[in-house]
Amino acid sequence: MASLAERGLRRARRYLREKAEVRRVLTETKSQAPAVNRTTQMNAIIHIGEPKSGTTSIQSFLLDNVEGLAAKGFRYHRNMPRRPSQIEYPLGALLRSGQLPLAENDRKRYNATSLKCLEKFVDPYLQALKAYPQRWPEPTALFSSEHVKPWMHSPELVRAFDDMFAEAFGARVYILYLRDPVDQAISGFSQRIKVGQSVTFDQHLEDFARFETQGHTAMMWSETLGRDRVNVRLMDRTFLKNGDLIDDFAAACGVDLEGLKRPERTNESLTALGIEVLWALNRRIPELLADGTHNPLRHKLLGIVEEKTAHGPRFIPTPEQMARLEEIVKPSNDALRETFFPDRAILYQSARAGKQGVQPESTIEEALDVMTEIIVDLRLRNIPAVQTWQRSRAVTREPGNYREE
C-alpha cells in the first residue's frame, strides 16, 4: 500500500496536470481574437452516440479532416486531443443538473468525484464553448461524444444538455446512431474487458437487460426536444447511405465528402482468445488506482494482448445466451420500429446468419500459451518493464480477491 507521502505526491502531480490543461484552454480562448463579425448565429450538429455504434470511426473522420471540414463551413475542435469523446459537454450538463456520473469508475476516471471537482474540471471548457461563435468563422460546429447517450438518461438532463448549447448556438440538431442491440451487447462485453473489468458474459447480459434502452432513448430525446431536431439513424447496411457509416454521417450533416480522408477501422472488438487472456489479467491487475489514475502495470497491456490474439476466432455467445439476448431486445426493437421506422418489416436487416465464433472458455489452452509468450517477452525485455519510480504505484489484487474497485 502506498505511503501517505506517495499518495500526496500523486495527487500533487495530478493537480498540476489538470491546472496546466485548464490554463491551456483558458489561454487559447482568451487569445483567439474574434474571427468574424457575425450577421447570423452559429449552428451546431451534435453526434450523441451511442457507444459501440461507429463513434470511434466518426470521431477519427472528424479529427483527420479538421482543415478540410473548415474549408466546407464546418468547425470541429477537440479541447482534449487525447480524448476522442468530448466528455466535457455531458459532464457539463450533469453539473448544471447537480448530478454526477452514475458509475463509480466514471467518477474516478473523469475527475467527477464531487460537484466541486466536476466544476473545476469542466468550467474552462464550458466557457470556451460559449465563445465558439467568436472564435470560429464557420457557420456550423460539429461535436461528437458517445457519453451523451448513457449519461443523459432523463428528460431533465437532455434539456440541461440542450440549454448548455443554446447559450452559444442557434439551431441545434442531434444525430443518434443505433446499432443492432444483439451485436452491440456482444461488442459491449468486449469493451468492458478492454477497460479492465472482469465480468462474465452472463453478468454482462443481466446488466444489459437493465440498461438496454434504444427505443426509450430515441423517444425520450425526440419527445423532449422535438422529432425534427433528433435524427435517429440505424447502423445497418440496408439503411446507411451507400451502406457506409461515413457516407451516411456526412449526408446527415450536409458535408460534401470530396477531398476528405476516410478513417481506418479502429477500436475493433477482442477475439474470443483476447477476451479470455485479458479477462484473466483484469482479475489481478486493476486498471485504475484508488485516486483515479492509471495503474502502471496496465501500460500498453491492452495493445500487447490485442497483438498476440488478433488472429483468433471471434467471440459468440452460446445458443442459450443468444436466446436470452433476443428476448431482452425484442420489446425495444418493436417499439423503435413502430415509432420511427414503420416501413421496415425487420428493423435490423443485415444478416446475422453465418457468423461463426467460439466462447472464450474454449480457448484456455491457447490463452495459457499467450500468457507464456508474455512472460518470455518480459524476460527477454521485448516488453518494457515498469520503471523504478512507478513501482511504488503499481497495484495488483491478491489471488481470490477479485472484487471490482
What does the pLDDT look like over 357-368, one tens digit per residue? 888 888 999 999
Q: Minimum mean pLDDT among 93-97, 118-122, 278-282, 394-398: which range?
A: 394-398
**What is the C-alpha separation between 374 and 120, in angstroms, rounded?**
41
- For residue 311, give the DSSP letter: T
Give domain 41-195+213-253's CATH architecture: 3-Layer(aba) Sandwich (3.40)
Q: For residue range 294-319, what is the model confidence (pLDDT) as tens digits?
A: 899 998 899 999 999 998 889 999 99
CA-only gyration radius of the chain, Å: 22
**Is the model more confident about 103 or about 7?**
103
What is the predicted pLDDT for the residue at 33? 46
**What is the C-alpha separation between 281 and 193, in angstroms, rounded?**
10
What is the predicted pLDDT for the residue at 390? 85
* Mean pLDDT calculated for residue range 338-345: 93
- Looking up cell 500459451 gives 369
User: Do residues 257 and 241 lie in contact, with contact meaning Cβ atoms separated by under 8 Å?
Assistant: no
**What is the C-alpha separation between 57 and 265, in angstroms, rounded?**
7
Q: Is the pLDDT of residue 261 over 60?
A: yes
CB atoms within 10 A of CB 331: 12
* Mean pLDDT calculated for residue range 69-92: 95
What is the predicted pLDDT for the residue at 124? 95
Closest CA to 218 of 338, 328, 340: 340
Q: Is the pLDDT of residue 402 over 80?
A: no
- Identify the three-state secondary structure at position 32: coil
- Residue 35: pLDDT band with limits 50, 70, 90: low
What is the predicted pLDDT for the residue at 321? 94
- Looking up cell 477519427 gives 60
**What is the C-alpha separation between 295 and 285, in angstroms, rounded?**
8
What is the predicted pLDDT for the residue at 383? 86
Cell of 33: 481574437
- For residue 313, give the DSSP letter: P
Domain range annotation of the chain: 41-195+213-253, 272-391
What is the predicted pLDDT for the residue at 392? 84
Q: Is the pLDDT of residue 53 over 60?
A: yes
CB atoms within 10 A of CB 335: 15
Q: Is the pLDDT of residue 25 over 60?
A: no
Please give the model's pTM, rounded to 2 decimal places. Answer: 0.81
Q: For residue range 186-230, what is the model confidence (pLDDT) as tens digits?
A: 999 999 999 899 999 999 999 988 876 778 889 999 999 999 999
- Residue 15: pLDDT band with limits 50, 70, 90: very low
Mean pLDDT of the residues in the chain: 87
- The residues that bridge with 288 in the sheet, in sequence order, are 294
What is the predicted pLDDT for the residue at 65? 97
CB crowding 317-330: b at 16 or more within 10 Å, else e: beeebeebbeebbe
What is the predicted pLDDT for the residue at 212? 66
Q: What are the backbone dihedrals phi and psi of residue 234, each rounded to the nearest 5 degrees, phi first?
A: -105, 130
Q: Is the pLDDT of residue 254 over 50?
A: yes
What is the predicted pLDDT for the residue at 173? 98
- Residue 1: pLDDT band with limits 50, 70, 90: very low
Q: What are the backbone dihedrals phi and psi of residue 172, each rounded to the nearest 5 degrees, phi first?
A: -130, 120
What is the predicted pLDDT for the residue at 221? 96
Q: Is the pLDDT of residue 351 over 80?
A: no
CB atoms within 10 A of CB 65: 22
- Residue 4: pLDDT band with limits 50, 70, 90: very low
**Is the model more confident about 241 or about 14?**
241
Contacts of 38 (CB under 8 A, 6+ apart): 133
CB atoms within 10 A of CB 395: 18
CB crowding 69-83: b at 16 or more within 10 Å, else e: beebebbbbbbeeee
Give the chain's length: 405
What is the predicted pLDDT for the residue at 14? 54
- Identify the three-state secondary structure at position 278: helix
* Mean pLDDT calculated for residue range 168-173: 97
Q: Is the pLDDT of residue 405 over 50?
A: no
**Is the model more confident about 110 or about 31?**
110
**What is the C-alpha separation between 238 and 218, in angstroms, rounded?**
20
Q: What are the backbone dihedrals phi and psi of residue 78, each rounded to the nearest 5 degrees, phi first?
A: -100, 125
- Identify the three-state secondary structure at position 71: helix
**What is the C-alpha separation between 364 and 55, in angstroms, rounded?**
32
- Looking up cell 427505443 gives 215
Sign of CA dihedral 157, 163, 164, 169: positive
What is the predicted pLDDT for the residue at 381? 87
* Mean pLDDT calculated for residue range 113-141: 94
The CA-CA-CA angle for residues 215, 220, 223, to 5°, reads 120
Closest CA to 142 of 77, 56, 227, 207: 77
* Mean pLDDT calculated for residue range 387-399: 84
Q: Is omega for the bond preceding 212 within 30 degrees of 0, making it cis?
A: no
